[in-house]
Amino acid sequence: MWDNQLFLEAFPVLLEAFVKVTLVVTVLGSLVAAALGLVWAIGLRELPGILAHPLRFVLDFIRMTPLPVHLLVIYYTFNGLSAMTVGILVMGVHYSTYMAESYRAGIESIRKGQWEAARALSLPASRTWRAVILPQAIRNTLPSLGNWAIAMFKDTPFLIFISVPEMVTEARQFGGQNFTYTEAFAVAGLLFLAASYPTAVLMRKLEKKLAY
């Protein structure tokens, strides 16, 4: 039976968990993922095969194994790290493997003539990447990176495996205390929707704008 009072009581509790945990993990994790993903993408292209192949294997392994497994392994291996820190780092590293593929696609979309022109001008590799390739590649990959950030946002409930009090965990606890879960999970769902839908719309508009 729906209870409006419980819905109203759950809202501030879950909103606090959303702002202090879910949102913080998503923002910081996305920054980690975006930075590392770029490093992986450049490394896969520039490193010699003896180093690039092991890197590719590691990235594929991370991408193809479940996120909860990564959380649990790192959490119990590095006892000195807080659960929140583990969540940010693990989610950042996990999603950096996906963002690396987006960066790679953006880099490969750069026409061959751009590379040849940089070589003809005798630009050093660092200048070529910084001034010619990356500005175009990142522009092409921004919508995709945004979509991966949204995916990370929706995966934050996995933090329950390491006891991080994110929004869904708080909703479950609130429901247990009041012997009904409907209202609490409804609030959690609405908060997820309120944050992810506008972001998705913005990403679609950005993608259309960058297409021209």
The pTM for the full model equals 0.89
The first and second tokens of residue 108, run together, are: 């490969």
- Does residue 87 surpass a pLDDT of 90? yes
Q: How far apart are CA 110 and CA 125, in angstroms?
A: 15
Q: What is the pLDDT of residue 52?
A: 93
- Per-residue model confidence as pLDDT tens digits over 90-122: 999 999 999 999 999 999 888 888 888 888 887
Q: What is the pLDDT of residue 211?
A: 60
* Higher-pLDDT residue of 201, 184: 184
- Does residue 212 surpass a pLDDT of 60? no
* Higher-pLDDT residue of 72, 133: 72
Chain-centroid distance of CA 152 in Å reads 4
Q: How far apart are CA 200 and CA 147, in angstroms?
A: 7
Q: Residue ranges of the domains in the chain?
A: 4-210
Q: What is the mean pLDDT of residues 146-155?
A: 92
The first and second tokens of residue 153, run together, are: 């946002």
**C-alpha Rg value of the chain to the nearest Å:** 21
CATH architecture of 4-210: Orthogonal Bundle (1.10)
Q: How far apart are CA 150 and CA 173, in angstroms?
A: 25
Q: How far apart are CA 212 and CA 193, in angstroms?
A: 29
